[in-house]
Amino acid sequence: MQWLKPPRVLASAKDLKSLGSRGLQGITATNSNTKISISRLSSGSDAALPARRVQENLGLHSERLRAAMVERLHAQGITDERVLSAMQVVPRHSFVDEALASRAYDDAALPIGHGQTISQPWVVARMISAVCEIELPTRVLEVGTGCGYQAAVMSYVFPQVYSIERIRSLYDMAKEHLRSLHLTKIRLSYGDGMAGLSSAAPFDAIVVAAAGLKIPQALMLQLRVGGILIAPEGTSAQKLIRIQRTSETGWTRQELEEVRFVPLKSGLQP
């Protein structure tokens, strides 16, 4: 442990061809981390820009682009000011490959390699907001670190953030991203997310960034009484599920929006 309706693909064919040589794959209807039937912003004019120029432009204008993203999130129903402020601060373009940097603030999931994605901004904001509706959690676990973006946003909302990733290359990527932004309070672990992180339990909230047929009982048991878990559930048809632990043996369940997430898997991937 260290401190520290299916989507429209917005990356151009040229971008995805370039990404393929580095092991990144395009997103599909079964690999996206996005809300179904939500509007997207297109920025096709950026597709022809060289990656270095794109990064330079984002460096100059990222605050403006993030402000536009936050305004869009507010218009889409995200009202928690703590979450919106965190989304405003974290540079999403720092968590994606250079070839996709021009798409960083689009309303879409983007590939990060190994069949995984950086979640759509709305999904990140919605899931974090969903665990804050009753009270602000202190101790929070994220299952599925990916490239580290959602953990970074969470670190500006919650006092203690734990995150676990089963794919070693993504764990290493996230560690480097978080370190480069000096986000050292996040406790990042390489492990099986379906088993949770019993050594740090119980948690006030758990946020799961992949969809299983059922939400693992191990994760539900690692909630404190009164704690909230938010996770996608299902296979071909998925919904966000919000679970609250009401007693040692009791939980309540609420179905939220239809979504599409990458599959939740057990075990470790070297």
Cis peptide before 202 (omega within 30 of 0): yes
Residue 180: helix, strand or coil by DSSP? Answer: helix
Selecting among 32, 62, 94, 119, the annotated active-site residue is 119
d(CA 110, CA 117): 5
d(CA 27, CA 182): 29
Burial of 76 (0-12, 13-18, 19+ CB in 10 A): middle
d(CA 170, CA 191): 12
Distance set, CA 85 to CA 10, 127, 148 (Å): 25, 15, 18
Residue 63: helix, strand or coil by DSSP? Answer: helix
d(CA 182, CA 176): 10
Distance of CA 232 to the CA centre of its chain: 12
d(CA 146, CA 133): 25
Is residue 155 part of the annotated active site? The answer reads no
CA angle 133, 139, 142 (to 5 degrees): 85
DSSP state of 9: P
Residue 197: helix, strand or coil by DSSP? Answer: coil
Which residues have a catalytic role annotated? 119
